[in-house]
Structure 1
């Protein structure tokens, strides 16, 4: 064993400059690790991602990039073969360094919009998976979504079946099925980043113009094929809009959606009832503070029992929530006048860019 180690180090022994370069690089890496550790130590606990969230984001990112990479590389290679650029097509399909790692090393994946979407989705999905399952009130009764899928109103039934399909695609993405379901703008960015990373794989050649053209055409094809309306979130909103629950049936629908662990449908029902965007309500359903969510439920005139059951389910699903604090706040929640509850939600209905500008100014003043 010792002999093998000496053999591996022969190059360093013969070239002292190589050892010096390695030592310098190790020192820089050590300083970077220390800086990261210091930043992590001073992070507020409520802003730190736990291991489950990190793993979910990593899995989703890897699946998204692999899906887009496979689509672009395969189609670009097909175009190159058709144009008699066989060496380029072959080079493009050879095993190569990870595109995901290249994008990460370049800092592109630090994009705030992309990470905000992935973090929100991860928290939402993990909360949904941890919700306490609740059996239907009647034995052998179908779930809420199954009932809606066979609804007498064809529009409702079609929307419910579309949500079933969207759930399958979302789960399939994580199982390696080729389907990207990012919002259109984020999909657009990721497609071009992946195309550029694929371009870097090919050594410098005289005919790289043909590769550039093929990769660009394959990227445009991916953009054209992407349908934002097929996303799980969009499908849930279409179903909520199609059903358009009345005030009297909304509480039972919300509780059934939670009991079925369909947090996306719960979120969409609330968004439809309040006139807010899906992403806004999704953020409230995963906010451990919960104040705005409780005010939303109060504004919709849910009774104490319904609010208590919703709060209990969310507290059980998210360890960051304080069940005792929620229980102690129930009297205060029910004491809020309905009009005041709606007034507290009013800022959420402002244009998002205007809200962002107000927040930026407030942050700068602080």
Structure 2
């Protein structure tokens, strides 16, 4: 019995490592290729959308830093004028030449945001008929308040043409910090190369530090979605039907948050598993989250569909996912997901070692 249990645990551990390595491989490749269209591993739509999001994100942070720095160099006319000309990008070309934006975590976030927009465009409920507006009118005042916060956060995801936005307020804190420092370094490089100004390093460091200090990760849409999901879970109302409805109405951020709560994960880990390129992730999450079969089937159908109508291939993918869901054991699925409950840096290290070990074995 002990040997059988050990063998089973070993297989589940191998499954977890392979799933993690596959997910990280995808985003590492995307990070390498995002800015190289001819070699992109993403779909053309994902690449264009993620690239546009990246450009606007870097531009928003750069504009904020430049406005603050311009105030520090008012007595230096040429530099002040250059920093104040916000329509001329400075940092982005420097960062692109230095390949400083090839960050797997940033790329994963950009692709995830692009996919969120795709789901929203394909499935969004219009008017007051979506589940969030229903929750805004909920008898539970706390749930209603959290739902309203999520509605407000969702509105920030679109520009006036309903194109996707990714503002600096939508980043995990550590990623926001890294991006601010990289953009600040690019601005410092420009100032040193093109202007004779004293006290550059002190001004840039203090400006970037002030921007970072004022950042509140709790204002991100993901944080708001998690707060609502946890409150609904405590009330016993975070069930498969609600998750299926949220996904069916295009609200992927709440779906990820709800599934993360059901599985004991963070939203980033839930997305990483869900986007497993081998296709095992969705069924694994649904089984581990104890989602009932009818709701799981509806969710798998929505995940397989890129629009209101299914093609034959999508129907086949859905059938395969439902079959996988049926063959999985809930306890075993939870065991596989234990790795995603670990520290993110640990997960990244496991994925890196698994990837390199596999590459070495294939080359041997």
| TM-score over 0.5 (shorter chain) | yes
- The alpha-carbon distance between structure 1 residues 352 and 236, as it changes in their structure 2 partners (threshold 3 A), is same
**C-alpha separation between the residues in 1 aligned to 2:68 and 2:288?**
51
Q: Could you state the TM-score of these two structures normalised by the residue count of structure 2?
A: 0.75
CA contact under 8 A between 2:91 and 2:183: conserved in structure 1? Answer: yes
Q: Aligned to 1:338, which of 314, 330, 333?
A: 330
- The alpha-carbon distance between structure 1 residues 268 and 247, as it changes in their structure 2 partners (threshold 3 A), is same
In structure 1, the partner of 2:79 is: 88
- The alpha-carbon distance between structure 1 residues 281 and 204, as it changes in their structure 2 partners (threshold 3 A), is closer
**C-alpha separation between the residues in 1 aligned to 2:324 and 2:108?**
32
CA contact under 8 A between 2:157 and 2:166: conserved in structure 1? Answer: no
- The alpha-carbon distance between structure 1 residues 357 and 164, as it changes in their structure 2 partners (threshold 3 A), is same
The structure with higher relative contact order (CA 8 Å, sep 6+) is 2
In structure 1, the partner of 2:136 is: 149
- The alpha-carbon distance between structure 1 residues 325 and 247, as it changes in their structure 2 partners (threshold 3 A), is farther
1:209 partnered with 2:198: yes
| 1:287 Cα deviation after fit | 3.5
Q: What is the CA RMSD across the aligned residues, in angstroms?
A: 3.3
- The alpha-carbon distance between structure 1 residues 98 and 268, as it changes in their structure 2 partners (threshold 3 A), is same
CA contact under 8 A between 1:73 and 1:215: conserved in structure 2? Answer: no
Q: Aligned to 2:233, which of 224, 233, 244?
A: 244
In structure 1, the partner of 2:70 is: 77
Tell me the number of residue pairs that the alignment of Structure 1 and Structure 2 aligns: 318
Q: Aligned to 2:107, which of 111, 115, 132?
A: 115
CA contact under 8 A between 1:68 and 1:180: conserved in structure 2? Answer: no
**C-alpha separation between the residues in 2 aligned to 1:203 and 1:361?**
40
Q: Aligned to 1:221, which of 210, 227, 234?
A: 210
| 1:253 Cα deviation after fit | 0.5
Please identify, of 154-163 and 328-337, the stretch whose mean Cα deviation from structure 2 is larger. Answer: 328-337
CA contact under 8 A between 2:170 and 2:217: conserved in structure 1? Answer: yes
Three-state SS of the structure 2 residue aligned to 1:170 is coil
| 1:263 Cα deviation after fit | 0.9
Greater Rg over alpha carbons, structure: 1
Q: Aligned to 2:49, which of 47, 56, 66?
A: 56
Alignment gaps of 5+ in structure 2: 1-32, 359-364
| 1:148 Cα deviation after fit | 1.6
| 1:134 Cα deviation after fit | 6.8
CA contact under 8 A between 1:67 and 1:176: conserved in structure 2? Answer: no
CA contact under 8 A between 1:188 and 1:223: conserved in structure 2? Answer: yes
Q: How does 1:1-366 map to 2 (within 5 A)?
A: 48-81=41-74, 84-94=75-85, 96=88, 98-131=90-123, 142-172=129-159, 179-202=168-191, 208-244=197-233, 250-287=239-276, 289-317=278-306, 322-366=314-358
CA contact under 8 A between 1:67 and 1:178: conserved in structure 2? Answer: yes
| 1:56 Cα deviation after fit | 1.2
- The alpha-carbon distance between structure 1 residues 240 and 343, as it changes in their structure 2 partners (threshold 3 A), is same
- The alpha-carbon distance between structure 1 residues 70 and 141, as it changes in their structure 2 partners (threshold 3 A), is closer
CA contact under 8 A between 1:247 and 1:300: conserved in structure 2? Answer: no
